[in-house]
Amino acid sequence: MNYGDQAAITLLLGLLLQASCAFSQTADEEDLALVYGDATTVSIATGSEQPLRKAPAVATVITAEEIAAMGAADLDEVLQTVPGIHVSRNASLYSPLYVVRGIYSPFNPQTLVLENGIPMTTLFVGNKGNVWGGYPLEHVERIEIIRGPGSALYGADAFAGVINIVTKTAADTPGTRVGSRIGSFATRSAWVQHGGTVGPIEIAAFLHAGHTDGFRKTIEADAQTVYDREAGTDASLAPGPVNTDYDAIDAHLDLGLDKWRLRAGYKLRDDLGTGAGVSSALDPVGKMKSERINADLNWADPQLADYWGGGATLSYLYYTQQLASNLQLLPPGATFPTGSFPDGMIGAPQTWERQLRLSAFLTYTGIERHRFRFGAGYDDLHLYRTEEYKNFVFDPDGVPVPAGPVDLYTGSQAFMEPQRRRVKYLYIQDEWQFASDWGLTAGLRRDHYSEFGHTTNPRVALVWDAAHDLTLKLLYGHAFRAPSFNEEYSINNPVVRGNPDLRPETIRTVEAALAWHPQDNFRANLNVFRYEMDHIIRTVPNPLPETGETYANTGGQNGHGLELDLAWDATSRLRLSGNYAYQAATDDATGLDAGYIPRHQAYLRADWRIASGWALSPQLHWSADRRRPPGDTRPMLDDYTTFDLTVRSTGTRSPWSFALTVRNLFNADVREPSQAPGLLLPNDLPLAGRALYLQAEYKM
Give me the DSSP letters along 469-497: TEEEEEEEEEEEEPPPHHHHH--S-TTEE
Q: Give the C-alpha separation, 171 to 302, whole Å.
A: 20
pLDDT band at 301; cut points 50, 70, 90: very high
Q: Give the C-alpha separation, 329 to 629, whole Å.
A: 26
Q: Quick check: 33 pLDDT over 70?
A: no
580 and 622 Cβ atoms separated by less than 8 Å: no
Range of the domain at 633: 3-699
| pLDDT at position 611 | 85
| pLDDT at position 30 | 43
User: How far apart, in Å, are the Cα atoms of 464 and each of 148, 149, 515?
Assistant: 19, 21, 10
Within 8 A by CB and 6+ apart from 181, the residues are 73, 187, 188, 189, 190, 210, 693, 694, 695, 696
Q: Considering the chain, what percentage of its residues have pLDDT values greater than 70?
A: 94
| pLDDT at position 8 | 42
178 and 698 Cβ atoms separated by less than 8 Å: yes
pLDDT band at 659; cut points 50, 70, 90: very high
> Which of 10-24, 117-131, 348-362, 599-613 has the least mean pLDDT?
10-24
Q: Quick check: 15 pLDDT over 60?
A: no
Q: Give the C-alpha separation, 632 to 676, whole Å.
A: 5
Give me the DSSP letters along 622-650: EEEEEPPPTT--SPPBPPEEEEEEEEEE-
| pLDDT at position 411 | 85
Per the structure, the count of domains in the chain is 1
373 and 405 Cβ atoms separated by less than 8 Å: no
Q: Say whether 380 sits in a helix, a strand or coil.
A: strand
Start-to-end Cα distance in the chain: 48
Q: Give the C-alpha separation, 449 to 424, whole Å.
A: 7
| pLDDT at position 496 | 87
Q: Say how many C-beta atoms besides its own lie within 10 A of residue 248's C-beta.
A: 20
| pLDDT at position 1 | 46
Q: How many CA atoms lie within 13 A of 687 on its CB side?
A: 21
Q: Give the C-alpha separation, 487 to 681, whole Å.
A: 24
Mean pLDDT score of the chain: 93
**pLDDT tens-digit series, residues 395-445:** 877 788 999 899 999 988 899 999 999 999 999 999 999 999 999 999 999
Q: Mean pLDDT across the stretch 500-511?
A: 98
487 and 498 Cβ atoms separated by less than 8 Å: yes
User: How far apart, in Å, are the Cα atoms of 60 and each of 143, 151, 479, 564?
Assistant: 8, 18, 20, 12
pLDDT band at 546; cut points 50, 70, 90: low
**pLDDT tens-digit series, residues 210-242:** 999 999 999 999 999 999 999 999 999 999 999
Closest alpha carbon to 673 in 658, 688, 663, 685: 685
Amino acid occupying residue 435? A
CATH number at residue 398: 2.40.170.20
Q: Say whether 408 sits in a helix, a strand or coil.
A: strand
Q: Say how many C-beta atoms besides its own lie within 10 A of residue 368's C-beta.
A: 6
Closest alpha carbon to 151 in 459, 583, 593: 459
**pLDDT tens-digit series, residues 366-378:** 999 999 999 999 9
Q: Mean pLDDT across the stretch 571-587?
A: 96
Q: Say how many C-beta atoms besides its own lie within 10 A of residue 70's C-beta.
A: 23
615 and 579 Cβ atoms separated by less than 8 Å: no
Largest CA distance in the chain: 80
| pLDDT at position 18 | 45
**pLDDT tens-digit series, residues 57-99:** 999 999 999 999 999 999 999 999 999 999 999 999 999 999 9
Q: Say whether 226 sits in a helix, a strand or coil.
A: helix
